């Protein structure tokens, strides 16, 4: 069995891919596929912490653009990530992948509260830990939550799972001439205003601690494993 290049990674799953082919909500087929992919890569010995987004259910920023109080909208977005966390745990456990959900906003009846030490113990025991409700704070994206949790859980890389093959010079869906970057420095990723795949605060946190970010297409079977084995795919920011 091939061994992972990494001991521990943080996998950021955007809400956008959780909705799969649907316009809104959770696509059980995608979660089933994702659970199979995760089960497969765990065999390489890697430990995985997961931060889901919530945009498939509610996006705080969109709510505030329509006149909602931004903090209230962000709290709703954080609750959306808890929906995704519970659905993902369910999908993983169905495949026999031991998982725990921890939330930054305490809701003890449905999930463990986020406790760094406990999260680390779970990871060491080979359980995936799904971290819901972002950082628990409004005005902070789930990308930044992923960077913070990734750093404090001593993950060696942040894997940003998306539906595109990496970072392009322009939106590849709208512009067929857009070219993919194989590599970017942290500073290039921050300076380039066209790069909106991850927000600047998340990238700068990773830069400060020199933790690389790998942006890759999660919808292609086997991609997560290739990336974890260290094969070059997607865009690497380091």
Q: Which residues bind ligand GTP (CB under 6 A)?
A: 100, 108-113, 121, 125
Nearer to ligand GTP (CB atom), residue 128 or residue 162: 128
Q: Is 106 annotated as a binding residue?
A: no
Count other C-beta atoms under 10 Å from residue 213's C-beta. 29
Joined tokens for residue 63: 């709510």
Q: Is 114 annotated as a binding residue?
A: no
CB of residue 127 to ligand GTP, shortest distance in Å: 8
Do the beta carbons of residue 161 and residue 218 sit within 8 Å?
Answer: yes
Q: Is 136 annotated as a binding residue?
A: yes
Nearer to ligand GTP (CB atom), residue 127 or residue 149: 127
3-state secondary structure of 10: strand
Helix (H) or strand (E) holding 51: strand 47-52
Q: Is 207 annotated as a binding residue?
A: no
| C-alpha–C-alpha distance, residues 209 and 218, integer Å | 25
CB of residue 187 to ligand GTP, shortest distance in Å: 40
Q: Is 162 annotated as a binding residue?
A: yes
| C-alpha–C-alpha distance, residues 236 and 176, integer Å | 21
Nearer to ligand GTP (CB atom), residue 69 or residue 93: 93
Picking from 234, 230, 222, the residue whose alpha carbon sits closest to that of residue 37 is 222
Nearer to ligand GTP (CB atom), residue 21 or residue 108: 108
Q: Which residue has the tokens 């799972």?
A: 161
CB of residue 34 to ligand GTP, shortest distance in Å: 20
| Residues making up the binding site for UMP | 54, 74, 135-142
């Amino acid at each position: 069995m091939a061994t992972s290049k990494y001991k521990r990674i943080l996998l950021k799953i955007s809400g956008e891919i959780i909705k799969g082919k649907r316009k809104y909500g959770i696509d059980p087929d995608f979660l089933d596929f994702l659970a199979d992919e995760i089960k497969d890569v765990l065999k390489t010995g890697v430990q995985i912490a997961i931060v889901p987004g919530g945009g498939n259910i509610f996006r705080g920023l969109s709510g505030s653009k329509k006149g909602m109080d931004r903090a209230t909208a962000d709290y709703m977005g954080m609750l959306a990530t808890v929906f995704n966390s519970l659905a993902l745990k369910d999908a993983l456990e169905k495949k026999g992948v031991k998982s725990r959900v921890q939330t930054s906003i305490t809701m003890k009846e449905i999930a463990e509260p986020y406790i760094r030490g406990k999260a680390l113990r779970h990871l060491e025991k080979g359980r995936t830990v799904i971290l819901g409700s972002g950082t628990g704070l409004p005005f902070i994206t789930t990308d930044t939550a992923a960077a913070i949790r990734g750093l404090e859980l001593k993950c060696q890389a942040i894997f940003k799972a998306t539906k595109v093959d990496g970072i392009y010079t322009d939106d590849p869906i709208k512009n067929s001439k857009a070219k993919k970057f194989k590599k970017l420095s942290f500073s290039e990723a921050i300076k380039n205003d066209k790069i909106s795949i991850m927000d600047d605060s998340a990238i700068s946190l990773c830069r400060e601690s020199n933790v690389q970010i790998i942006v890759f297409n999660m919808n292609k079977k086997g991609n997560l494993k290739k990336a974890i084995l260290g094969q070059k795919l997607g865009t690497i920011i380091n």
